[in-house]
Structure 1
Amino acid sequence: MSAPWKLLTGRGWALFLSGVAGTIAAIAYGQRDVLWVAFVLLLLPVVGLVAVSRSGLRLKAERRVDPSRGVLGQQLTGTLSLTNKGSFPLAVLKFEESLPRELGRRARFTMHTVRGTWRRTVHYPMYGSARGRYTVGPLLVRASDPFGLARLDRRFSSTQQVLVTPRVVPLGVMATAPGSGQTGDSTPRRIGLVGQDDVLIREYRDGDDVRRIHWRSTARRGEIMVRREEQSWDPSLTLLLDSRIQAHVGTGPDSSFEWAVSAVASVARHMQRADYTLRIIDAAGLLIDTSGLDPASAEDGVVLALTDAALTPGDPDLQLATDVVNAGRSGEMLIAVMGRLTRRDVQAMNSMRQSRSQGLAMVLDVDAYVARRFRATPEQMDEHEECVAALAAANWRVVPVRPPMDVDQAWHQLDQIGASL
């Protein structure tokens, strides 16, 4: 080590300088007893330097986070496997694992043993309190002598990426929304919303050949279903996530925006497993288009895109989102998850709705997600209620969302509204 004196702590320097001063004084006044004391004061920092400089030279650390891809609000567990093959175990080793604030408090622990070779496994908890991509590590190792006179910091270079993804809620069957984006002559009313087995079936009609009965779907639905003539069908869907910062309130896992992201993720997963291709759009534009992707890549891509979704400033009138939505193919179904609405938002959403087979909207009462002092003005609340009614009058299926309503309940209500039309 080029400058070992830099390893001394303030305490170490105090003892060393005291020893130097004592030595000079003892020699000057001929005090042999004082000279021995001064010699001890000089020796202790030197011993501390030797201890820390020889400790941890052969230290190895392996890290694992389980799971490495967690869900918002999920408990994660970090595991560090430490191995030391040193031969001079006088120093105390203090470890500190670097963690982003969103995953919890930094893990700190101490290791001291008289054996030169040892192996330890340490577990520490983490909590995914916010969506995103995070880096765990690197691990800091601080070697110090038992008296705290010298200190040596070493930092491992290895890190691990951890993803905290949105909550995905399993959704029930929605039987009242037709397939969309079809290129054939007709599409059965329930096509694509209950799984792959229903993609090419329809209800039994008088005169149908009994050999075309699809027994599996018949047993599940409780009514006779038959295989339909194959035709080209390309089911597609546009999902709109209202990500405007002025449209949401609250922070953390229980905020209105996190509910909206979870809703979009849940609907996307449900429709993807019914063989739909998706475009997900937020206030800043296109998040992801799954056309051309295989099912596994498309599902993973949606999760990653929504993991990175964030509130966006500006664009109060949804102009960017409107342009991207209207650039899609006509006949697609449009599902929107919206925050606080204004009259301009209703105009934008009606513009998006014009060329769509159906428009479904979950509209959050965002003020119900925060304390009263953070809520909007009475005028804004009244305007929001008027906008919800205006969307319903414009042939949107609209479900107002308030806590503790979850995504599956809102989805079920959308289905009930469709059944009553």
Structure 2
Amino acid sequence: MPRLTARGIAFLVVAVGLGALAYVLERPELLPIAAIAVAAPLIALAAVASSRPRVRVGRQLEPVVATEGEQVQVTVTVSGRARAAEWVERVPMLPGFAGPGRLREVTGARPSSLGYRYWPARRGLALVGPLLIEDRDPFALALRVTDTRAVVAQLVLPAVTPLPVGPVPDPSTDAGPRTSRSRERADDDVVTREYRDGDALRRVHWRVTARQGELMVRQDEPQAGPHARLVVDTQSIGYRDAQLVRDRLARGQRTASSPTFEWIVRMAASAAVHLAERGYSVELDTPTERGADAPVADGPVGDVLGELALLELATRAGDLPERAAPGAPPIVVIAGAPDDQTLRWMLAQRSGRAPAVALLAGPAAPGVRADGSLDPDPVRDSFERAGWAVARVSIRRAPDDAWLALLGEQLGDLPDWALPAAVGRG
């Protein structure tokens, strides 16, 4: 819908003032000037209204799947009919738009194109567009903004930091899941169920069948190759800095925000890529439900990165099953200050003596010991008593520094904030 600009409104104000002066001062020669001042913005409105653009918009993004903070080149192609005008495009980066720029005249035989760069402000599915075409008259008295409505969704992955060799052993080492002992333990811990008509005999688990006295089959096909489990705390109760904020990039919606959680997601993405580079297939697990239709990025952990891109703080819907994961994969827990039930669930994920590490971020939630004394970090203490490698780090530190905090042999080169639990208590 066309509207007057500030200049057009000023013309109307001047016209009203001149008309009033003409009658008060009895100066009829001011009336023609007032009439011109009124007619000019009205004619401008009519001219703008008659020139509505009729266009189709297409976009090309490079790269198609972006990373948080990474530069994205956007090329917009406008076809159809539109006269030369200004353009602005909404993008998921503060202040929320790209431009303004000049769009040259578009005809049926000559489409127009424009380009710009933007840097995604956060992970998730980012909406690029729509393109807004701002058509003005030659004197800028009237304005018509045409919303082309065409948008494109872009997957923005959390930023990944290369990690050094850390506390999780390579699959080829004696501590890794490729040893005969680990394979045997994985075979014992596989999830099974009763045999049903139609089940393939190759899925029968003969060792469990012998113990149970009836045919038992594998619930899932055994995963080929070594795998590791990445556990991320997604409960809002576990983050003391979590709060609801009005999100300008989400079109004014209120979303849960936590700087600690965002750091943890970036740390989890870095750990997933690191584990994949070491030869593991990575499985992500959280205490809250996740969407089943998360997009998949490229690479060996594309599914995990896609899930991490959409990961949000939530509230647990029910009780968590406190049982170990099938097999004996290495467990990497990344959390803030989980509640008691979530902590027990995390501790129960470990099978036997499988490698297990816990990286805790942000401030701890102090508790009270059985003897009544103050426990400054009960979560860290629980992991340590269970034999996990554990450290609590500040979210101001880079993920590679935080990863090194889990290595006891390199403590002499680390700052005080990164010392593991055992050393921190002297």
TM tier, shorter chain?
A: 0.5 to 0.7
**Number of the residue aligned with 2:393:** 401
Q: Tell whether 2:94 aligns with 1:74.
A: no
Taking structure 1 as the reference length, what is the TM-score of the superposition?
Answer: 0.63
Quick check: which one's helix share is greater?
1
Task: Give the direction of change, closer, same or farther, for the CA distance of 1:110–1:66 in structure 2 (3 Å limit).
Answer: same
Decide whether the 8 Å contact of 1:240 with 1:280 is kept in 2: yes
**Number of the residue aligned with 1:360:** 357
Q: Tell whether 2:160 aligns with 1:168.
A: yes
Task: Give the direction of change, closer, same or farther, for the CA distance of 1:301–1:104 in structure 2 (3 Å limit).
Answer: farther
Gaps of 5+ in 2: 184-222, 243-255, 412-421
**Number of the residue aligned with 1:209:** none
Counterpart-to-counterpart distance in 2, 1:164 and 1:289? 16
Task: Give the direction of change, closer, same or farther, for the CA distance of 1:278–1:356 in structure 2 (3 Å limit).
Answer: farther
Task: Give the direction of change, closer, same or farther, for the CA distance of 1:340–1:142 in structure 2 (3 Å limit).
Answer: same
Taking structure 2 as the reference length, what is the TM-score of the superposition?
Answer: 0.63
Q: Tell whether 2:337 aligns with 1:304.
A: no
CA RMSD of aligned residues (A): 4.9
Q: 1:151 aligns with which of 116, 120, 143?
A: 143
Counterpart-to-counterpart distance in 2, 1:289 and 1:382? 44
Residue type of the alignment partner of 2:315? P
Segment of structure 1 superposing worse, 60-69 or 131-140: 60-69
Task: Give the direction of change, closer, same or farther, for the CA distance of 1:378–1:124 in structure 2 (3 Å limit).
Answer: farther
Decide whether the 8 Å contact of 2:390 with 2:406 is kept in 1: yes
Task: Give the direction of change, closer, same or farther, for the CA distance of 1:74–1:384 in structure 2 (3 Å limit).
Answer: farther
**Number of the residue aligned with 1:348:** 345
Please say which structure displays the higher CA radius of gyration: 1
Q: Tell whether 2:156 aligns with 1:177.
A: no
Query: 1:281, CA displacement in angstroms?
Result: 0.7
Task: Give the direction of change, closer, same or farther, for the CA distance of 1:379–1:97 in structure 2 (3 Å limit).
Answer: farther
**Number of the residue aligned with 1:258:** 262
**Number of the residue aligned with 2:327:** 330
Decide whether the 8 Å contact of 2:237 with 2:339 is kept in 1: no
1:197-256 deviation line (CA, Å, top 9, x unaligned): xxxxxxxxxxxxxxxxxxxxxxxxxxxxxxxxxxx9731211110112122244799922
Task: Give the direction of change, closer, same or farther, for the CA distance of 1:17–1:242 in structure 2 (3 Å limit).
Answer: same
**Number of the residue aligned with 2:233:** 242
**Number of the residue aligned with 1:281:** 285
Identity among equivalent pairs (%)? 22
Query: 1:131, CA displacement in angstroms?
Result: 1.7
Decide whether the 8 Å contact of 1:241 with 1:337 is kept in 2: yes
Task: Give the direction of change, closer, same or farther, for the CA distance of 1:250–1:65 in structure 2 (3 Å limit).
Answer: farther
1:330-377 deviation line (CA, Å, top 9, x unaligned): 32221111211455555333322254622211122x12xxxxxxx867
Matched residues, number: 344
Query: 1:410, CA displacement in angstroms?
Result: 3.5
Counterpart-to-counterpart distance in 2, 1:385 and 1:377? 5
Query: 1:386, CA displacement in angstroms?
Result: 3.5
Query: 1:310, CA displacement in angstroms?
Result: 1.1
Alignment of 1:73-112 (within 5 A): 73-80=69-76, 93-100=85-92, 102-109=93-100, 111=102
Segment of structure 1 superposing worse, 396-405 or 33-42: 33-42
Residue type of the alignment partner of 2:47? A
Query: 1:307, CA displacement in angstroms?
Result: 0.2
1:92-135 deviation line (CA, Å, top 9, x unaligned): x34232234x554323426499x898998765553433221111
For residue 270 of structure 1, give the secondary structure of its aligned residue in structure 2. helix
**Number of the residue aligned with 1:138:** 130
Task: Give the direction of change, closer, same or farther, for the CA distance of 1:395–1:38 in structure 2 (3 Å limit).
Answer: closer
